[in-house]
Amino acid sequence: MKLAGTNTAFTTTYGYDTADNLVSVTSPGGQTVSYTRNTLEQITGVTTKAANATAAVNVATNVSWLPYDGLKGLTFGNGVVHSNTYDTDYRLTRISAVKSSIVVQNLTLTWNGVDNITAINDNAVAARNQSFVYDKEDRLTQATQSGVGGYGVLYYTYDLNGNRLTSQQTGSTISNNKTYSYDTGNRLTGMNDNGVSRTLGYIASGSITSDSKGSGTADDVVYTYNNAGRIVAVSKGGTVLSRYVYNAKGERVQKLTASNALGERFHYDMDGKLLAITNAAGGVVASYIYLGDTLIAEVGGNGVLSYVHSDHLGTPQKITNAAGVVVGDYRWQPFGESLAANNNYRIKFPGQSFDAESGLHYNYQRTYDPGLGRYLEDDPIGLQGGLNRYGYVAGNPVKYIDTEGLQVALPLPLPRILPLPRFAPTELPWISPMAPALPNENTESQARQSEYERAKRYCDSPPQGSDCSALSRKIDHANTCISMYEEWDSKWNPGRHRTKIDEWKRRRDNLKKEHNEKCTQTCI
């Protein structure tokens, strides 16, 4: 591949075994990452070798998996031992990363009966403990981190279409109040941002093109788009902050900024994950190493290997050096706003890269604004993605991710489970939630776990919206979930999901009540 304005050709090379499993990737600059696998084709080790190196070094060893391919643990190349703990519903409940007396991570996650995370406790630093509250639509309405350096208490309210109406932040030294207004197309048109009025303008296709604070042109932000609807320039006060270039797949391959006029080049693997960044001369700025979809290491332009330790979503939280010492510590609010000025690590939520010049996150097919908690561009799929075409992960960033800016997903490493559909299954009658197991799920235990995971993934992705049509779909979705868990219990373990089934029945009954109060057609 050649990029505009360069004479340098960049090549990425892939190697496969006889079963077509990926065993090596060589990114631009010559950094090779190799994978070893067991007889079940699961990755058990990761090594890397620089172009001019004589030997490979370990990135991860002793990689182990649960029966359904969920990551159980690994040992990083610097000796830090990572382990995941799950409950009987295979929900992640603990993340641990330690090396002797060095505690890198020690997190405990608490879940409620409808599979929302209600607390994340940092057992190493209690001041970082967080708690969460949700509405009946599973949208985050309150988040609390009251310790030193925390974000205090955040409150959110929403309209019937899932648009954020208000946000309030309180704490010992924090006071932050915002209100939001929308047009009939769910486009954010105005804000009161702590007493400052902001007005947002749009182009015909529905993307935000201007954000004015009304206090003079110096504060006005303008976004320029190409014919494909992608941001190609960001300006503030009439000065261009950055320019962007994209390839035919929609991947952003080049960025030019006021502080780096020669720019950076971005290189991706076949799944759109960022593999490497190079400068205008072709030199490597950084290379990234993954275990499946999870970033586990970075090689800097100086050749130094660092190890990445992520939270339950897959968002980088800590960086350790060769000795296992923490050299990077990153914290953020639930929707992605940074808590400290040094939160400048480029990789944010899975699939997102941070642009320091604008404060925005590149999210493959769209641009995410963590301050707004929504996308600048509307959903390319239109109304088939729901009435609110700008919302981020259905208002639940504690539980969900969106790696491409197109589809809410669960951050579960389940390569043998069917992916979440781009549409709600209730809208696609030809998708069977309990479809037959995949061919290599040929044992009873695998079939049992596969059916459970399929039910869980389906039920964890309910239809969005609060209009009558959406309520009907949600009722159908709840009924399907009840049937799926009842079918599983009947087949595998009677009574196993009694509590979960009762929760879904209560949710369905509440939805019916809301439907009957709001809509003309009675739901029985």
Q: What is the mean pLDDT of each run of 10 residues along the chain (524 residues)?
A: 60 92 93 95 95 94 87 97 92 96 96 94 96 96 93 96 96 87 95 92 95 81 95 94 94 92 92 93 94 95 96 96 96 91 84 94 96 94 78 95 90 42 35 37 62 81 78 86 86 78 83 82 64
* Per-residue model confidence (pLDDT) at position 433: 39
- 329 falls within a domain: no
* Per-residue model confidence (pLDDT) at position 422: 36
- 458 falls within a domain: yes
253 touches 245 (CB < 8 A):
yes
Task: Write down the residue that tokens 């235990």 correspond to.
Answer: 445
Residue 248, both tokens: 């035919």
Largest CA distance in the chain: 74
Q: CB-based contacts of 268: which residues, under 8 Å, 6+ apart?
A: 251, 274, 275
63 touches 291 (CB < 8 A):
yes
Structural domain harbouring 502? 416-518
- 450 falls within a domain: yes
d(CA 242, CA 197): 25
Q: CB-based contacts of 393: which residues, under 8 Å, 6+ apart?
A: 399, 400, 401, 402, 408
Q: Residue 426 in 3-state DSSP?
A: helix
Question: Alpha carbon of 130 to those of 115, 207, 327, 334, 370: distances in Å?
Answer: 17, 34, 23, 10, 19
* Per-residue model confidence (pLDDT) at position 524: 64
* Per-residue model confidence (pLDDT) at position 443: 57
d(CA 451, CA 496): 14
Q: Residue 383 in 3-state DSSP?
A: helix
User: Using H for helix, E for strand and C for coil, what is the string for 453-513?
Assistant: HHHHHHHCCCCCCCCHHHHHHHHHHHHHHHHHHHHHHHHHCCCCCHHHHHHHHHHHHHHHH
* Per-residue model confidence (pLDDT) at position 420: 37
Query: In terms of Cα–Cα distance, which of 108, 68, 74 is closest to 90?
Result: 68
Q: What's the gap between Cα 299 and its chain centre?
A: 22
d(CA 137, CA 124): 33
* Per-residue model confidence (pLDDT) at position 341: 64
Residue 342, both tokens: 């040094």
- 304 falls within a domain: no
- 494 falls within a domain: yes
d(CA 314, CA 211): 31
* Per-residue model confidence (pLDDT) at position 427: 37
DSSP symbols for 204-245: TTS-EEEEE-SS-GGG-EEEEE-TTS-EEEEEETTEEEEEEE
* Per-residue model confidence (pLDDT) at position 421: 33
Burial bucket for residue 294 (CB in 10 Å: 0-12, 13-18, 19+): middle
Q: Of how many residues is the chain composed?
A: 524
- How far from each other are the two terminal CA atoms of the chain, in whole angstroms? 59
| Domains in the chain, number | 1
Query: In terms of Cα–Cα distance, which of 330, 369, 358 is closest to 178?
Result: 369
